[in-house]
């Protein structure tokens, strides 16, 4: 349905691998507990950087703590 926003909430929203998956499949948002927000933001930024690097034909590796 056009205009429908899709995302996830809960512990998966703060898990870096889940954040990257959500970005990859085109979800609009993730929601997580406040203490996981910094981790989720970093994971989201890294997912975008990976996507841009892949579009250029390169490969970048990021890790989260």
pLDDT bracket for residue 64 (50, 70, 90): low
| Contact present, 16 and 44 (Cβ < 8 Å) | no
Helix H or strand E segment including 8: strand 7-9
To the nearest 10 degrees (0 to 180), the angle between helices 16-25 and 37-55 is: 50
| Contact present, 63 and 42 (Cβ < 8 Å) | no
| Contact present, 32 and 9 (Cβ < 8 Å) | yes
Residue 47 CA, chain-centre distance (Å), reads 6
* Interval 7-59: pLDDT, tens: 999 988 999 999 999 999 999 999 999 999 999 999 999 999 999 988 888 66
Confirm whether pTM is higher than 0.85. no
């Amino acid at each position: 349905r056009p205009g429908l926003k899709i995302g996830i909430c809960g512990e998966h929203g703060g898990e870096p691998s889940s954040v990257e998956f959500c970005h990859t499949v085109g979800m609009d948002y993730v929601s997580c507990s406040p203490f996981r927000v910094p981790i989720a933001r970093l994971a989201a930024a890294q997912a975008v950087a990976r996507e841009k690097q892949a579009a250029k034909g390169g490969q970048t590796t990021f890790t989260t703590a």
